[in-house]
Amino acid sequence: MTHGQGSTASGTGGVLLVSRPAPGVLWLTMNRPARRNALDRALGEELLRALERAETDPRARVVVLTGAGSAFCGGDDLGAVDEHIAGERGHSPVLGDTADPVYLRIVEAIVTAPQPVIAAVNGPAAGAGTELACAADLRIASGTARIGSCLVNVAQTGTAVMLARIVGAAKATEIYLSGGLLDAADAERLGIYTRVVPPEDLRDAVLAEARRLAAGPTRAIGLYKQLRERVYGQPLEQALRVQNGFHIRTNREVHDAVEGARAFVEKRDPEFTGR
């Protein structure tokens, strides 16, 4: 789902399109439609750089990630993976500086982003594409957007981390072993998709949600995301104390916390600045 406004990260027709369709909204479109937006090194590095720049961009209060054409992301580009196995690293989806698969770094960047990230799942997501979508804070999907693993069909492993966070290990295993993709209705029922809308309504639905979040207390939301990662899997007693520490930190550091309390007392809508 391309977005017609704004500039591109790599010039017109580049592998990643970057636009700002509304104040506070950074819209990233993976642009390899002929390859179902599969991740090769060029796309992966462009996307990773865009997410890293967004970390310190005060204009990026919300990030939206989507795909061009009929697919969200088909996962790693298997042709590029074959090149990597053969020792041809030019298009390999593996970063030369760390030997990390590029999708791994992108997932980390999405999860740890200081602002909310929305995946606008415009079409099928598979393999690493599923992990990218599941890393987002919200996943708004087209009714035609199937999602799953397919990795078992090519004797590969994966989709055991972010997908399993949402559906649990047993269901993630079932999805992996099926070798297929869930339809949008099943994905919504399982909580993989936050919301499913008709294909023609996806852009407007995502943009409306992005505008709503961009007008919110995004600094507090960023701290919540840090808290979520800190307490994940921790024992109850430790998790509650970490949460209390973040509560204290929020009241000390977040300007919007003062505005929120004042607006509540004055019985008016708060005017948040994202600070």
Does domain 16-214 fall into CATH 3.90.226.10?
Answer: yes
Domains of the chain, by residue range, sit at: 16-214, 218-265
For residue 230, count other CB atoms closer than 10 A to its CB.
14
- Each residue of 63-74: pLDDT tens digit? 999 999 999 999
pLDDT score at 154: 87
- Each residue of 172-228: pLDDT tens digit? 999 999 999 999 999 999 999 999 999 999 999 999 999 999 999 999 999 999 999
For the segment 240-250, the average pLDDT, to the nearest whole number, is: 97
Name residue 117's beta-bridge partners: 63
SS3 assignment, position 261: helix
SS3 assignment, position 56: coil
For the segment 23-40, the average pLDDT, to the nearest whole number, is: 96
**Is 41 a residue whose pLDDT tops 70?**
yes
CB neighbours of 87 closer than 8 A, spacing ≥ 6?
A: none
Q: Which tokens belong to 100?
A: 């990390």
pTM passes above 0.85:
yes
